[in-house]
Amino acid sequence: MKLTLTFITALFAATTLASPAPKSTKKVTYDGHKVLRLTIDDTASQAAHVSQLVEDLNLDVWTHGAIKPSHTVDIAIDADKLDRFYKKLGKVQYEVMYEDLGEAVRKETIAAADQSWFNAYHSYTEHIVYLNDLVKKFPANSKIVTAGTSYEGRAITGIHIFGSSGGGKKPAAIFHGTVHAREWITTMVSEYTAYSLLNNYANSTEVRGYVDKYDFYIFPVVNPDGFVYTQTTSRLWRKNRQPGQSCVGTDINRNWASNWAVSGGASTDPCNETYKGASAGSTPEYKGLSAFNNAKQQSQGVKFFMDYHAYSQLWMSPYGYSCTAVAADQTEHNRISRGAVAAIKAVYGTTFEYGPICTTIYKATGSSVDYTYDVTKVKYSYTAELRDKGASGFLLPANQIRPTSEEMWAGIKYVLGAMV
């Protein structure tokens, strides 16, 4: 099914009127910028050297977390910093991921023209239209929902999918996409999940069983301001657009009010990509999303939570705030995770690792998964880092949207059938 963008002009006008006009900002071209993958040797001294270099030059590290011996780290370097970077790099081994990041961004934009929905990336306005078109196509099983508003006043828009008995009566499964603005693949995978549930409801006994058993609330873009900014100004923007003391933006996934104050899992620097915010729960996006999730837990119960991210090919469970804390349901989490990654691999052979966030990828405080598990009390709380493992990084080619979505759909179906 290819949904037509039937009211894009009217919706664009409405969206423009409803949102504050952004300040004029020169678009970032990324021309001459490079992305390198550094291989740290087995010494703590080289890891410390690279960490200091990143800090001194204020570089954008794509692979977040501590820089460790015997690990790789992906780093984007501005064109005007390259000479200083190479002079200070020393004997660290590296390979080039993107020779010219600006060219890669332009190719991504060109590839998006004149293709069916899951073969291309789309504008924020088009995503809102797509959700509305889904509801128009499947009015008996879906409706538009919102979970508060962003800093700039955009509604955090999602789709509610339900079975023949009506909505709001069954345990909920909640999905978040585009928490980090530059992770465009998560928007598409979220929408593919919604599309697959609705499109297969009539003809698949399996899918009908899931939709009749659970209420699905899918939010493809929970950071709309940041997402729009990646399309108008800076493709690799990560945070929201809430002004801070010296820089703009808070990492929404370090701002949830769960172990927010624990050190080492986020930054207190407003200019850092993982800035945790002025206080726990200080972002309007957190306020809207957490209130929505908690309300659903109170009214109907929440069975499953998934927070889509990119990249690294990981399926992870609580906890992120500590590498020694063990979730009470970790054995069950691992059972589900093991089955999900096997289901994912069965589609195209894509391999995912699994485990608790802290020990699988890095320490992360104030995360949505820790909050939904500890505060909202959602037993099956997960996050997935989608394709790839770094060959394309955040600029995953459009021809990988469909296979990425299909394999993740297989993993989600496994979970829906395996939860107890």
Give, in order, the Cα–Cα distances in Å from 371 to each of 81, 281, 290, 351: 38, 11, 9, 27
* 385 given a catalytic annotation: yes
Cβ atoms within 10 Å, residue 56:
12
Closest to 385 measured CA to CA, from 339, 349, 345, 354: 354
**Contacts of residue 335, Cβ cutoff 8 Å, sequence gap at least 6:** 418
- For tokens 């239209």, the residue is 129
**Contacts of residue 263, Cβ cutoff 8 Å, sequence gap at least 6:** 365
The DSSP letter of residue 253 is G
Structure tokens at 221: 């873009």
The amino acid present at 352, given as its one-letter code, is: F
Closest to 219 measured CA to CA, from 134, 268, 156, 294: 156
Please tell me the distance from the alpha carbon of residue 352 to that of residue 372, in angstroms, as a whole number. 23
Closest to 411 measured CA to CA, from 345, 331, 334: 345
* Given 152, 191, 385, 407, the catalytic residue: 385
Please tell me the distance from the alpha carbon of residue 181 to that of residue 226, in angstroms, as a whole number. 5
Please tell me the distance from the alpha carbon of residue 185 to that of residue 401, in angstroms, as a whole number. 7
Please tell me the distance from the alpha carbon of residue 270 to that of residue 223, in angstroms, as a whole number. 18
Alpha helices, DSSP H only, in 268-400? Answer: 284-299, 330-348, 357-360, 368-374
- For tokens 């726990």, the residue is 280
The amino acid present at 201, given as its one-letter code, is: Y
The answer to whether 201 and 416 are in contact (CB under 8 A) is no
Q: Catalytic residue numbers?
A: 385
